[in-house]
Amino acid sequence: MTDLMARRRALLGPNMSTFYDEPVHLVRGEGVWLWDAEGRRYLDCYNNVAHVGHCNPRVVEALCRQAGTLNTHTRYLHEGILDYVDRLTATFAEPLKTAILTCTGSEANDIALRMAEAMTGKRGIVATDATYHGNTALVSHLSRSNVPEVGFGLGGLIRHVEAPDSYRIPDPDGQRFAAKVEAAVADLERSGVGFAALIVCPLFLNEGFPTQAEGWLRPAAEVARRAGGLLICDEVQSGFGRSGSHFWAHQRQGVVPDVVTLGKPMGNGHPVAGVVTSEAVMARFRTAFRYFNTFGGNPVSCAVAMAVLDEVEAQGLQGNARRIGTLAAARLRALAERFPMIGDVRESGMVFGAEFVTDRAAKTPDPAYADRVVNAMRDRGVLLSKLGRHRNTLKIRPPMPFGAEHLDILIGTLEAVLTDLDPAA
Ligand code: PMP
């Protein structure tokens, strides 16, 4: 372990993040389980990349079959990309019927921002102050974690608005958030940059997945449209049925975005991501930027991505997300009755968690306790993480085949950890 850390530092450079005080060295995965180099088994409660389960046989078979037949770039004709985009866009409402495939979510968001520029002739972007959208020169400025120290002076194009926080900031119908967006739009217009787009994850997953009524985002979307800008929904985390109630989380929000970006779960670990938009936006973008992506949408990526869609459907994984999410929230609420350090429980399908506080009345965030819990869970063989506006929210986001038997293990382990870890110690 120490040796691997030293080699990482020497070969990959400093400042690379790892999960947990004691990083995990994984060598094998299957379904919702992972094994480390010593043969120890971990329950994976965090990996949304392995959407349909680690080493899913249908996905592995599709990957191997296509890799053994042909892999090449997208300047050749191939039906794989067409069949996939046809199938993918069938899950979206009109007019979202065209797509560009990329290799990462960052690239997808970069394209989305350029689409907004192509459509509006302006470059100003509004995002929340606790989000992460990726790491290209432009997109990295949207993110409030991993904020770059330098970066071509692009930071001036961005305005950050306060992230929604259902636990502390009452905003039942999204009007308060919409007013913040409106002020940011006005500021961009006043400054001469101009407003091009509002970009949000429709479940605000990096912000701490606040509890929101269906349609909560509609007022902010209307503000963006009225101002002549685009609504970009970053579904890199929230898509492919994870919300349980809908295949895409923006559908739960009752909005039809101008652009939707996809990534992480799309290839179950294989690097494939994408941008879905209307014919009109696509046509304008393809004229304004003569975009080409060597690897994005190659035959292997498309075969893998198709197998992921097949598996979500065949295994009824969206329904599973809904069932397990509801059950998980109930189990977490039962824990909250016994453990006062849990201030709030939240759930959006197969994403659920609890916020830790030092004082329930004042709702004072306790990020240090959240850290201790995450590490203690890891030591007991359950992998999860924490994030949110105050870095104090357990984020539990397992592969979609996570079942009730796995939830039992997760909740049992959490109960033991909360019993053992004294917040005052
Ligand atoms: N958008 C969101 C919401 C993300 O969570 C991430 C990755 N954490 C990205 C974009 C960037 O994706 P990638 O790492 O594939 O570039």
Q: 360 CA distance to ligand 1 centroid (A)?
A: 32
Model pLDDT, residue 134: 95
Ligand 1 contacts CB of residue 106 (under 6 A): yes
Reported ipTM exceeds the 0.90 cut:
yes
Nearest alpha carbon to residue 202 among 171, 228, 174, 160: 174
Q: 105 CA distance to ligand 1 centroid (A)?
A: 5
Which DSSP string corresponds to 170-214? --TTSHHHHHHHHHHHHHHHHHTS-EEEEEE-TT-TTTT-----T
Q: Is the pTM of this model over 0.95?
A: yes
Residue 226's pLDDT band (boundaries 50, 70, 90)?
very high
Which tokens go with 117? 């520029």
CA 368 to CA 378: how far, in whole Å? 16
Ligand 1 contacts CB of residue 104 (under 6 A): yes
Residue 214's pLDDT band (boundaries 50, 70, 90)?
very high
CA 6 to CA 249: how far, in whole Å? 41
Model pLDDT, residue 149: 79
Ligand 1 contacts CB of residue 267 (under 6 A): no
53: left (phi over 0), alpha (psi -120 to 50) or beta: left
The share of the chain scoring above pLDDT 90, in percent, equals 92
Q: What is the pLDDT of residues 25-71, one digit of tens each?
A: 999 999 999 999 999 999 999 999 999 999 999 999 999 999 999 99
Cβ(97)–Cβ(278) under 8 Å? Answer: yes
Cβ(236)–Cβ(203) under 8 Å? Answer: no
Ligand 1 contacts CB of residue 236 (under 6 A): yes
Nearest CA to ligand 1 atom 4: 133
Ligand 1 contacts CB of residue 105 (under 6 A): yes
